[in-house]
Amino acid sequence: MTGLLLPMPRTATVSARNREVSRDLLVVVLATGLTFVICVAFELREWLTEITRPLEQYQIDELPFTLGALALLLAWFSWRRWRQAAQELHLRVEAQQALMDNEARYRLLFMENLAGNALCAADGTMLLGNPAIAHILGLPGTQAATGRNLFDFYADRAVADEHRALLSHGSKVDVALLDLVAADGSAVKVIARMLVRDEPTTGAAFHVYVADISELQLMQRELADALAENRLLSQKYLLAQEEERRHLARELHDEMGQCLNAIKLDAVAIHRHPSELPRDVLESAQSIMEVSTRVYDVARGLMERLRPVALDELGLADALRHLSTEWRRRNPGVDCSLSIEGDLEGLGEQTNITLYRVVQECLTNIARHARASAVRLHLERAVDHGDLMLRIADDGVGIEPVRKKRGGLGLAGLRERVEALGGRLEVISCVPHGVEVRASIPAVGGRP
C-alpha cells in the first residue's frame, strides 16, 4: 500500500527538542557572560558615558538600563512563545499518532478482509487491491493485481460494458450474482458492489467490493437437488402407501366382508328354525348375527379410512361433500359448511388424495381437540393459474404454543404430503380464537 506514513518515535522527538532548547539557553548565558567580561575589560560603559557627554540633553546614558529591561522582556516573551510552541507540538504529535493508529487499523481491515477490495480507474484498471481480490481473481498477489483490468475478468462482455457505462454515469452497481473467470480459467461466482469515487490525487474512479460465493452457490444447488430428490421420494412413498391402503381396503372388502356375510347368512339360516333347535343354540345364532353386523360396520369404517371409496366413485368435490356430511352427522352440535370454487376436474390422483386427507385429518382434529361450534371449509382453484387453496377454520380453543411445538403425527404428515406436491401448509392458531389450516398447492400440470 502506498502513501502510508512511517511511524514516528514521539518521545524521541520531544527529548531532542528539549535538548536543543537547553543548548540555546546555555549559548544565551555564555554570550551574556562574555559580553559582561568584555565590558569590564574595556570599561565600555565609561567609554559610552564619555562619548555621549556632548549629547547629555538626550539622556543617552540612560539607555543601558532600558536595553537591559528590553532584553529581560524579550527573554520572557521568548519563553512564553516557546511554551506555546511546545504545547502545539505536543498536540500535533498526538494527532499524528492517532492518525497513524487509525491508518494501521484501516490497513489491517483492508489487507486482512476476506472480501476482495480494489480501487480502480475509470477504465477498470486496478490501482490498489487487497490480497483477497488477488486470490479471488486467481492472481499470485496484490502486486500482480495492480495494473490489471477488472472488467477483463468478467465472464460476460455485455455485463462488463453495462457496468462500465453505469459507473461512468455515476451510478452504483450492486450485483447479487456476478460470473467471473479467474486468471487460471476457473469460474468464480461473486456478489459485487461498485461505488463511484472521485479521487483526483490517486486517479481512482470507483471502489469495488467482491465476496466469493462459489461454494455457497454449489451448496445451494446441492441442497436444492437434495430437496427435489426428497420431494420425489416422499411422493413415491405416499403413492406406495396409498396403493397399499387401497389394496388392504379391497382385501377387507372382498375377503373379510364376504366371510362376515357368509357367517351372518348361516346364523340367519339357523335362526329360521326356532321350533327344531334348542333355545341356547338360537340365542347363540342371534348373538352371531349381531356381532357379525358390528364387525362388518367396524370393517367398513376401517375401509373408509384406508381408502375413501367416495373419492374413486364420485370425484374430489362430491367426496368432500360426503365427508363433511358424514362428519356433521357424527358431530350434530357443530355448524359445518363447505364451499368449493373453481373446476376440480383433472387434478390428478395424488392431489385429490392429498386434499381429501387434509380435510379428513383436520375434521378429525376439530372433533377431537377443538371444542368448536362452527367449522368453515373452503377449497378454491384459481381460474388463471390453477393453483389450489384449501382453508379449514374453526372457532374452537386453538392450539396452545406448547402443543404446537410438540406436535402430533397428523399435522406433520399433512405438511409432508402437501410439500411433496411443492405446496405449503400453514397452521395458524390464536388461543382462544380457533385454528385455521391453509394448504396451498401449485398448479398440477399433469401430475399423476
Ligand X SMILES: Nc1ncnc2c1ncn2[C@@H]1O[C@H](COP(=O)(O)OP(=O)(O)O)[C@@H](O)[C@H]1O
Residues that bind Mg ion (CB under 5 A): 365, 410
Q: What track of x and - describes contact with ligand X for positions 310 through 349 (by CB under 6 A)?
A: ----------------------------------------
Binds 397, which of ligand X, Mg ion, none (CB < 5 to 8 A, cut-off by type)? ligand X
What is the DSSP track for 165-181?
HHHHTT--EEEEEEEEE
Pairing assessment for the beta strands 374-381 and 335-341 based on DSSP bridges: parallel
For Mg ion, the closer CB: 260 or 435: 435
Alpha-carbon gap, residue 364 to 414, rounded angstroms = 13
Least Å distance between CB 365 and ligand X?
3
Alpha-carbon gap, residue 409 to 364, rounded angstroms = 13
Cβ atoms of 129 and 145 within 8 Å: the answer is: yes
Least Å distance between CB 305 and Mg ion?
13
For ligand X, the closer CB: 334 or 399: 399
> Which of residues 408, 424, 426, 430 is near ligand X by CB under 6 A?
408
Binds 383, which of Mg ion, ligand X, none (CB < 5 to 8 A, cut-off by type)? none
Alpha-carbon gap, residue 56 to 69, rounded angstroms = 21
Least Å distance between CB 391 and ligand X?
13
For ligand X, the closer CB: 129 or 398: 398
For ligand X, the closer CB: 212 or 394: 394
* CB closest to Mg ion, residue no: 410
The reply on whether position 411 binds ligand X by CB under 6 A is yes
Among the listed ranges 42-50, 216-224, 319-327, 404-412, the one in contact with ligand X (CB under 6 A) is 404-412
The reply on whether position 205 binds ligand X by CB under 6 A is no
Q: How many CB atoms lie within 10 A of CB 237?
A: 12
The reply on whether position 359 binds ligand X by CB under 6 A is no
Binds 394, which of ligand X, Mg ion, none (CB < 5 to 8 A, cut-off by type)? ligand X
Chain CA centroid to CA 444, Å: 31
Alpha-carbon gap, residue 169 to 206, rounded angstroms = 11
Axis crossing angle, helix 214-251 with helix 349-365, rounded to the nearest 10: 80
- Give me the amino acid identity at 418: V
Least Å distance between CB 400 and Mg ion?
15
The reply on whether position 358 binds ligand X by CB under 6 A is no
Cβ atoms of 354 and 316 within 8 Å: the answer is: no
Alpha-carbon gap, residue 199 to 207, rounded angstroms = 11
The reply on whether position 399 binds ligand X by CB under 6 A is yes
Residue 227: C-alpha distances to residues 1, 223, 420 (Å): 47, 6, 10
Least Å distance between CB 317 and ligand X?
23
> What radius of gyration, in Å, describes the C-alpha atoms of the chain?
49
Least Å distance between CB 303 and Mg ion?
20
The reply on whether position 397 binds ligand X by CB under 6 A is yes
Instruction: Kindly report each contact of residues 109-118 with a partner whose C-beta sits within 8 Å and lies 24 or more positions away, as own/partner.
Output: 110/1, 111/1, 114/211, 115/209, 115/210, 115/211, 116/190, 116/208, 116/209, 116/210, 116/211, 116/212, 117/207, 117/208, 117/209, 118/145, 118/150, 118/207, 118/208
Q: What track of x and - describes contact with ligand X for positions 425 through 444 (by CB under 6 A)?
A: ----------x---------
The reply on whether position 369 binds ligand X by CB under 6 A is yes
How many residues bind ligand X (CB under 6 A)? The answer is: 18
For ligand X, the closer CB: 344 or 411: 411
Binds 131, which of ligand X, Mg ion, none (CB < 5 to 8 A, cut-off by type)? none
Residue 250: C-alpha distances to residues 123, 246, 307 (Å): 76, 6, 9
Least Å distance between CB 330 and ligand X?
16
Write down the H helix ranges in 272-423: 279-306, 309-314, 316-330, 349-365, 401-406, 409-420
The grid coordinates listed for 22 are: 537547553
* CB closest to ligand X, residue no: 408
Binds 435, which of Mg ion, ligand X, none (CB < 5 to 8 A, cut-off by type)? ligand X
The reply on whether position 401 binds ligand X by CB under 6 A is no
Q: Summarize as ranges the residues that interact with ligand X (CB under 6 A).
A: 365-366, 368-370, 394, 396-399, 403, 407-412, 435
